[in-house]
Every structure is written in structure tokens, then in C-alpha cells.
Structure 1
Amino acid sequence: MTAGNTGRKRPTISDVARRAGVTKGAVSRALNSGTGVSTGTRERIRLAAVELGWSPSYAARALNGKPLGTIGLVVRRSPEILDFDAFFPSFLSGIESVLSGEEHATVIRFVPDAQTEAATYERLFGDRFVDGFLVTDLRVDDERPAMLHRLGAPAVVVGAPEGSSDLPTITNDAEEAIRGLVRRFADAGHRRIAHVQGDRHMLHALQRRRHWEQAMGEFGLEPGPVEHGGYTIVGGAQATERILARSGDERPTAVFYGSDLMAIGGYSVLGEAGLAIPADVAVAGFDDIPLASFASPPMTTVRSKHRALGSAGARILLDMLKGQAPPLSTVLTGELCIRDSSGDPV
């Protein structure tokens, strides 16, 4: 016996067929396309596979040109983002909620730059490591949707690209929620409202700023100063320090942060400056991370449905891999969560 070999034979598709009392072809159809067999037979085959502990051989599926059951996620950020990031943990949880029920898996690659990113997409799909991709973190002038379309790679874009897209998209639309937030500030008497923007290269950061600027115009307000916080607590704190450095009428009385993490950094700086929230400076964030409702005072924020984005994106991509035509655009709606930090209307 070879060292490390337990002697236990891996169950085969023939074993599943014998256990279920059907042909190998019926097992193949039931476990791959799901077509050509009755519901009762498909369930009997599924139970037989579970009882035997059978799972598909990914190497054999690759050689036969069949889907491997893996989807790719290429992230051009540091792996350390998962420590505090508001988006990825919930997004990945949503993906897993769909893939685990279908015996699929996610392949995640963190890359440092654009050149490595493009090569990684090409290698993962060209060498058949993955069947398709979920594309996140859209950037200004992002070339990835066009590149994946040229590769013929099934993909779903998470976010709203500038202009049209050849790939299906799923978006969290926060425009109305941000408008409601600005209305809340305006009703409380604020006329100078600042914005702390996230990563200036990220398209969703730019879109949040645009929604804020548009809402300010609708309520007859001049958009206040804009600082950049990079979606981190430290960045939010530093941006708040720059806002407070403005004197007299130039200093805003309310701040809309592009993420709750940046707002938490702002809370710290405002407290150290002896300013009360919301009496001296009203505050609102974006994301609705769990900590937002436990901040002091509880933080008004825009709830972004990160987990739903992951689950819906994964479902659309799996349907594409099964040959179904995807919806061109799927839109989820952001939700304004009003808490004490934004103050009360006058």
C-alpha cells in the first residue's frame, strides 16, 4: 500500500448509478445539467451521491471541457483589507450562501497592480481554473469588463460601469438614500455640509460623491468641502482634521462620510476637539456596519446590501454557466438608517 493511502476507494459515478438504480448517463445528466431526468429520479441520485460521499473529479471535468464548479474573484488590494473592510466579508458570505448549496467554490486572488491583474484573469480562465468571474471594485475607466468580454469569459459586474456594459451588472443604488440624508441635514438647518470621499480611483466612491452633490443642488445648497479618506479609519480621521482646520463660516456643521469606517475615525477627532455630535457637527456614514448602531451616538448611515450583492451576483453567474440568459441589469436599493448622529429636523 502506498504511504498515505487509506485504502478506501473513491466512489465513482458508476457506484452512484448502482445505488440509485439508474444508468451512468442519468447520473451525469442529473448532477450536471439537471435536464432529461424526472424530479424524483434526480432526488434519488442526489441522495445516493450524498450517502456514498461522491464528489465530481475536477480534473476529469476540465479535460472533458465541462464546468469545474469554481468562480473567480480577482481583487487588486492587499489581503489585509479583510481585517476591517465593510464590503468583502459580507459580500463573500453572500457568495458562499449560494455556492455551498450547489457544491461550487470561490477562487480568490489578491494582486498588486493592473498588469498582474490582467494576467491573472487570463490565466485563471485560459487554464480552466475557473468557469467565470464576479468583477468588483470598479474603477474609473476600468478596462476589465471589455477584457473579459473579449476573452469570452462568463462574468457579472458588481457595480454600475460608466456608460454601457457588454456584461450583466448588479448594482446597489444609493441615490435616493443619499438624497434623503441630505434632506435630513437640510431640515436640521445645516447649510455647509462636507463630504469625505473614499478611494478617489474607485467608481462607487465617485458615484456617492455625485449623488451627494446632486442632492445638495436640489435643496439649494452649495456643496461643502470634499476631503479624501481612503476608506480607512485613519484616513477618515485625517480628513476630519483637515475639515476642522477651516475657520469661521468655512467650517462645515455636518459631514457625510463615504463609509462608516471613515466616520468612526471622524468621531474620534471630533471628540478630541471637544465637539459634540450632533450638536456641534452632525455626522452620517455609509455601509451600516454592525458597529455603526453601537457608536456613541448611534450613527446615521446608508445601508448597502453587500451580502445580497454577493448572493444575487453568484446566482446570476451560476445561471449563466447553466446556459441561461442573464438579466442585463439588476438593481438593489440602498436604505437610509436614521439614528442620533444626524440630529433632529428643526
Structure 2
Amino acid sequence: MPQLPSPAKPTIGDVAAKAGVTKATVSHAFSGRRPISEATKARVFAAAEELQWLPSASARALATSRANAIGIVLARDPEIIASDTFFPAFIAGVEAVLGKAEVALVLQVAGSRDAEERAYRAMASGRADGVIILDLHHADWRVPYVHQLGLHAVVLGAYDDPSPFTCVRTDDASPTTDLIEHLRSQGHTRIAHVAGPLDYVHSRVRARAYLSAVGNADLLAEGDFGAASGRDRTAELLALPDPPTAIVYANDTMAIAGLSYARSIGLSVPDDLAVAGFDDDHLSAHLSPALTTVATDPIERGRVCAEALLADIAGEPARTIQLDCNRLQLRASTQVHPTLQGEER
């Protein structure tokens, strides 16, 4: 069956003819680069609306003196990014907001500080109107640097130094403490923690909560969020003369690798070793046994950060947003057999 031809899309020439002006005048009306009377602008905008014509993205950017984009610079090993499900879900939350606002996302992975600085300079030079700063470090250089560049920004994490930017904070300490209390209720006394890199603020917050709960650092190990480090730190802990009977990991990727290693050497999870993670990977509930973890809702974090950044770009004042999105998910990997309940382990 022959297809009907698609209706022709309106052009800038159609708008010019409808408004009784030249194409250059239509362009200037939308770009704001040349003085045009309010009456002429009104005719141009009315004609564009009637014809349902929209200027190109570049023209809209000229009209607002903006890039109509926001940026995220990730300074992590691409292999770690690929295995950590937080980032895709966070980006999905960001895009859910940006898509509705017709704002683009500029995502760049940087392998060194020099590369990060170049990326932020490029954003400030016109690639983006603002950035979301993730993976906060202790004494993070990026916050003052981005401010000096004149970029709008939103900071995700517990940034305690003075900052001109909106900060989206979450409580990572309480869920860690809750996990320790849960494990103690199951009879565990030797509880280990495999942390993420301790230069990261969220890793340090969780490690401090762990230390406060257990009282010493004898069973604290540092990983890198990757599966290999989870397996290696687990092997080291279980090779101790008096090994832990429970391990809390800083993310589910390391926890899943640790659980797999424990089972490979003949340990039963959770009867011989209880295992808990953080982030609630989409596979965690479907493991055998299902993994106890903390759901962090990265989609909501991304949504809130994007909304806050767009509000900042629009001129709203910076503020602190406390986001309550961490939820403890108790599952079989930490639930000991009823006959062992209450025994000290």
C-alpha cells in the first residue's frame, strides 16, 4: 500500500513569511544578539508558535547564552564503573529529569587529575552550564576548582567544608550501624568490614560507623569496589588465625565476590560466614542465599541532583538537601539457622 508523504516541517523561512520579516530577523529574535522591537519579537514568536516551529538546539542556546547541557566527570577505572550498578541507575535518574527539560547530559571519564581539570575547563568553556560532582574525596579539590571556573554545581555527598554549591547529603553511617547490630543479634562477635577506598568520603563515613560499632580496626580491610578486591580481601580475612564469622562490604560487587570465594573453600553462607553488602545490586535478591544489603536508590539520587542543578542554573539559591533513601534489606545471607540463633560466634 503506498505511503502518504509526511507533511513538510515548518522552516525558518515559513516563520519569516508568516511574521512579515526576514529570516535574519527571526534568527535575531531568538538569539537576542541584535536589538529588535518588542512588537516585531511578538510577531515572530506568535508565528513560530502557530506553525509549531522550534529553533535548533544551537539557536536556543544562543537565545539563553547557555549550552543547554549539564556535565558529569567520572574519575574511576572504566572496569569499576562497568561492574558497579550504582552509576547506570544514577544516570537514569539524571536523564529522567533532563529529558523532560530537553537538557543534554555530557558524560566524561577521566583517568588522571590533569584529565579531570581539562574536562571541567571544557565544561566551563561552553560544553555545559553546570556539573554534578560525585565520589567526594577527603579535602576534595574539585569543589573550589569548579567554583573558580564559574560553573554551577551540585555536590552529592557529605561535604563539610564551606561550599557555594547545593549539597545533596545521605546518611551512610546509620545503615552500617544497623547492619552491625543485626549481625550481633545473630550471635556474631567477630565482624569484619571490607571498605571502599578510604579517600572517598562515603567509604570513610561507613568505615567510621563500623569502627564506632565494633571498637577496633583489627578486621577492617580496604578494597577498591571491584570484584577482584572483594575476593582478595575476603581471602586475607578468612586466612587469619581467628577469622571473622561475618563480613560487611562497602558494595554488593565486592560482597558477591566474597560470598563466592567463601563457598569455593567450603564455607556455608550464612551458617559459617554471614555476608552483607551495600547498594542493593539488581542481582542481590536473586542469589543463593539472597544477599543482605542496603538499598540506596541511586535513581532517586540522580533525579534530586539533576533537579537541584537545574534550579541552581535558573538562579535559585544554594541549599542543603538531606535525602532519606537508604533502606536495610535483610535477606538469607545473614540469617543463621534457628538452631544456632543466639549462640556467640
Instruction: Mark yes or no: TM-score above 0.5.
Output: yes
The 1:45–1:258 alpha-carbon spacing in structure 2 relative to 1, beyond 3 Å, is farther
Secondary structure, counterpart of 1:274 in structure 2: coil
Given that 1:171 and 1:309 are in contact with CA atoms closer than 8 Å, whether structure 2 keeps it comes out as: no
Structure 1 position 173, deviation (Å): 1.4
AA at the equivalent of 1:152:
G
AA at the equivalent of 2:211:
E
The equivalent residue for 1:337 is 329
- Partners of 2:299 and 2:48 lie apart in 1 by 28
Moved more, 97-106 or 149-158: 149-158
Given that 2:61 and 2:68 are in contact with CA atoms closer than 8 Å, whether structure 1 keeps it comes out as: no
2:228 is equivalent to residue 243 of structure 1 = no
Q: Which runs of 4+ in 1 moved over 6 A?
A: 44-47
1:125-177 Cα deviation digits (max 9, x unpaired): 1x211100001111122110111122221100111124333321112212222
Q: Which residue of 118, 139, 147 maps to 1:149?
A: 147
Secondary structure, counterpart of 2:316 in structure 1: coil
Secondary structure, counterpart of 1:140 in structure 2: coil
The equivalent residue for 1:88 is 87
2:92 is equivalent to residue 100 of structure 1 = no
Structure 1 position 239, deviation (Å): 0.6
Describe how 1:29-178 pairs up with structure 2 within 5 A: 51-52=52-53, 54-58=54-58, 60-63=59-62, 66-125=65-124, 127-178=125-176
2:11 is equivalent to residue 11 of structure 1 = yes
- Partners of 1:158 and 1:314 lie apart in 2 by 11
Given that 1:177 and 1:336 are in contact with CA atoms closer than 8 Å, whether structure 2 keeps it comes out as: yes
Q: Which residue of 288, 293, 303 maps to 1:296?
A: 288
The 1:285–1:237 alpha-carbon spacing in structure 2 relative to 1, beyond 3 Å, is same
Secondary structure, counterpart of 1:255 in structure 2: strand
- Partners of 2:326 and 2:47 lie apart in 1 by 42
Describe how 1:260-339 pairs up with structure 2 within 5 A: 260-339=252-331
- Partners of 1:143 and 1:332 lie apart in 2 by 27
1:31-65 Cα deviation digits (max 9, x unpaired): xxxxxxxxxxxxx999868x54x35432x455556
- Partners of 1:226 and 1:79 lie apart in 2 by 26
- Partners of 2:305 and 2:48 lie apart in 1 by 25
Given that 2:73 and 2:116 are in contact with CA atoms closer than 8 Å, whether structure 1 keeps it comes out as: yes
Structure 2 residue runs without a partner (length 5+):
1-7, 20-25, 32-45
- Partners of 2:175 and 2:16 lie apart in 1 by 52
- Partners of 2:109 and 2:10 lie apart in 1 by 33
1:271-316 Cα deviation digits (max 9, x unpaired): 1111111101111000001111011100100111211111100001
The 1:312–1:210 alpha-carbon spacing in structure 2 relative to 1, beyond 3 Å, is same
* Aligned length, in residue pairs: 311
Secondary structure, counterpart of 2:300 in structure 1: helix
TM-score under structure 1 normalisation? 0.81
The equivalent residue for 1:202 is 200
Structure 1 residue runs without a partner (length 5+):
1-7, 30-43
AA at the equivalent of 2:133:
V
2:248 is equivalent to residue 256 of structure 1 = yes
The 1:15–1:282 alpha-carbon spacing in structure 2 relative to 1, beyond 3 Å, is same
Secondary structure, counterpart of 1:141 in structure 2: coil
Moved more, 222-231 or 204-213: 222-231
Secondary structure, counterpart of 1:72 in structure 2: strand
Given that 2:152 and 2:309 are in contact with CA atoms closer than 8 Å, whether structure 1 keeps it comes out as: yes
Secondary structure, counterpart of 1:109 in structure 2: strand
Structure 1 position 120, deviation (Å): 1.7
- Partners of 2:162 and 2:13 lie apart in 1 by 44
TM-score under structure 2 normalisation? 0.82
The equivalent residue for 1:225 is 219
Secondary structure, counterpart of 1:191 in structure 2: coil
Secondary structure, counterpart of 1:290 in structure 2: coil
The 1:12–1:214 alpha-carbon spacing in structure 2 relative to 1, beyond 3 Å, is farther
- Partners of 1:78 and 1:257 lie apart in 2 by 19
The 1:63–1:45 alpha-carbon spacing in structure 2 relative to 1, beyond 3 Å, is closer
The 1:86–1:312 alpha-carbon spacing in structure 2 relative to 1, beyond 3 Å, is same
Secondary structure, counterpart of 1:145 in structure 2: helix
Secondary structure, counterpart of 1:177 in structure 2: helix
- Partners of 2:308 and 2:49 lie apart in 1 by 26
- Partners of 2:177 and 2:12 lie apart in 1 by 58
Secondary structure, counterpart of 2:328 in structure 1: strand
